[in-house]
Amino acid sequence: MRLLFLGDVVGRSGRTIVSERLPGLIADWKLDFVAANGENAAGGFGITEAIYQELCDAGTDVITLGNHAWDQREALVFIERAPKLIRPLNYPAGTPGKGSTIAQARNGARVCVINLMGRIFMDALDDPFAAVERELTACPLKHGCDAIVVDMHAETTSEKQSMAHMLDGRVSLVVGTHTHAPTSDERVLTGGTAFISDVGMCGNYDSVIGMAKEEPMRRFITKLPAARFEAATGPATLSGLAVEIDEATGLAQRVAPVRLGGVLSEARPGFWD
């Protein structure tokens, strides 16, 4: 099974490159499943129902969220009627929406996507390690589903790496999101789980983590806010992770970074060309 995970979609630039490039990638690479983090899709802060539909129309099968999940207040309502949208599993009981979903891939496989949020330098939520343990007990790989993708939305690499090692051999992919800067540690762990500490973002990298440079720089230099953050406009890079999954085991066989467009060096999965 061929799976593509797209990093945090940031603002209009990020949405544009996903809409322009993803349909062609699905056709050219014969992708079976596409997931993306959409928590920054609305001007860098949250997601709206119209943007949710835009990402779905481009070919995204599941959209995950994170610490900006509720920045657009309408998300608290429309998430209940958005089957492809999930928020972190470890939000407290009673939070709208759900933290995992099972979606059907183009090859007929059942893909479970789980969204988690870290707790180091982040909002204090429930324990993500305990939360995912309960979820995997209820829906283990190759019993309740054919593949499992975990989006670990977290600040620190240590927390993401710890989650990946705990889940090694039990899920297909643990992908780190949130920091918007792609790391180069993509690999298949010893137990067969694909992992990367951070997949990066779909957005304009001539920026400060996707925001127009001037205001973040001013705040670092003067310690005074002068304006609100605005998502950077201009050419974006589509950043993601390509994973080839063994349909017999549900574990990863090969993994490669994807970087297309914008200012970063291009990267493609050579095993799909």
| Strand 147-153 relative to strand 173-177, pairing | parallel
The answer to whether residue 68 is catalytic is yes
Phi-psi region of 121 (alpha: psi -120 to 50; beta: other; left: phi over 0): left
User: Residue 174 is inside which H or E element, if any?
Assistant: strand 173-177
Residues in the chain: 273
Block residue for tokens 């207040």: 73
Distance CA 207, CA 181 (A): 11
Give dist(CA 10, CA 38) in Å, integer. Answer: 8
Q: How far apart are the first and last CA of the chain?
A: 15
Q: What angle do CA 16, 237, 271 make, to 5 degrees?
A: 110
Among 176, 241, 234, which residue's Cα sits nearest to residue 205? 234
Q: Give catalytic residues, as residue numbers.
A: 68
